[in-house]
Each structure stands twice: as C-alpha cells, then as structure tokens.
Amino acid sequence: MPSREPVAVVTGGAGGIGTAICRTLAQAGFAVVVGYRESAQQAQALLSTLGGAGHCAMRAPVTDSAALQTLAAAVQDRYERCDVLVNCAGITRFVAHADLDGLDDALIDDILHTNVRGSFAAVRALAPLLRASTQVGGAVIVNISSIAARTAMGSNVMYCASKAALDNLTLSLARALAPSVRVVSVSPGLVDTEFVRSLDAGWRDEQARRTPLGCLAVPAQIGAAVLAVVRDLTFSTGCVLAVDGGRPLN
C-alpha cells in the first residue's frame, strides 16, 4: 500500500547530523528512510529511537549510482512515494590548507565523488519519485552544505571547494526541477558532533568564542533548519540557508 505519511530519504542518515535530521523529520510525521553506506548497525539502532511509524534503513552509498537506482526502486516498492531527499552524506579529513602534498589525489577524488557527484547522483536516482510527489508545496531536496563554501576555511581546501560546488548545484537544480521540486542548501557552521568533540578542546572552544552567538551549533538545530525548509519555507528555492551563529561576521 502507498504510504499515508510523507516519505523522506536521508543519505548519511546514521551520522551525527544525519541522525538529528532523521529524528526531527520522524517527529514531524515523516516516514524516514535512513540511508547508509557502511554503518548498517548504527542505522538499524537509530530506527528504534525514531518517533512515528513506517521508518526503515536502506543502503545508500552515494558513490555507487547503480546502488542508488536500487534504493529508488526499493523506496518505490515500499512506499510508492518520495517527498523529501536530504543529501547529508559527506566526507572530509583534516589537511592544512598550505600542505598541498598532503591533499593527495585519492582524498580529492573521495571528497568530490561523495560530496558533489554523490549528491547529484542521489537526486538523479530519486527525481522521478520526487517529481510525482503530492506533498503540499511539492517535493523538496535539501543539500547539507557548510559555511566553508563561503569562507574557504575548513578541514581542507578540497572540502571547501566541494561545498561551494554543492551550493552551485543547488541553484542549478532548483532551476532545472522547478516548479515541482524545490532545492535548498542548509549551510551549518561548525557543529558540535561527537567527531568535533573528539578534537582538541581548546581549538573547539576558540571556534565558539569567535562565533558571534558564542557557541557552536548542535545537530538538532540543523534538523530544525531542514524541517523549516521542508514545512515552512514553501516559497524558497535555489538559496542557501545559513545556520552558523553569524560566524562569517568575524
């Protein structure tokens, strides 16, 4: 039977930010597909914490276009609809910007394949379902970007470039998919995930002090921004929504 609830697919759904997005959408009444690449156990564990009903975990390795077509077919078979796609899958590694040799070709390829090509591939695979959405206001694609796209300050040079490319992709896709599908980037500053908390505490505290609002974002705030794009900002497309505490002001 078709799903009565609107359906949201979240790639990278078992990560720190992805988990918060899945919980927020589930609480808002969406049936959530927790997309994962290798973290099947984490994705299954997350399911038991989600409110509402109709959730599932599905393999969604965004660097594998054939696997994404399989994902789209599985979503069609299970739900017969897809109303929201959140591209949250992404990778990076810390490499000092001046260390050009440290940013080797393999890492460059991994970052661009995942953060840019992977987001596009997920859209391409799910576009027929998104275009057919009967959700009020139409279907929505939310690309999880980063303040690094604007400031060119981040974990490495290519990560910053990948997020700038993702924001540009948001604009192009918003034009290409209108009026049936809206496309928006949500652009966090540094988010206080478990990964960030594992880094040097002094560095993390300094980033908070340099943010005008005096703290880092928490994952739930990113989830709230995604929900706002989907549910409330129904006349917004082709734009970048900053969730950065005003960090570019400093």
Report d(CA 230, CA 250) in Å as an integer.
30
Q: Would the CA dihedral through 199, 219, 124, 162 be positive or negative?
A: negative
User: Residue ranges per domain, the chain?
Assistant: 7-243
pLDDT at 1: 61
| Chain centroid, CA 225 distance in Å | 11
pLDDT level of residue 250 (50, 70, 90 thresholds): confident
Q: What is the mean pLDDT of residues 176-184?
A: 98
Asked about 159 being catalytic, the answer comes back as yes
Percentage, residues of the chain above pLDDT 70: 100
Q: Which of 159, 183, 190, 241 is catalytic?
A: 159
Report d(CA 89, CA 21) in Å as an integer.
12
Q: Which CATH class is domain 7-243?
A: alpha beta
- Is-contact 182 239, C-beta < 8 A? no
Model pLDDT for residues 20-60, shown as the tens digit of each residue:
999 999 999 999 999 999 999 999 999 999 999 999 999 99
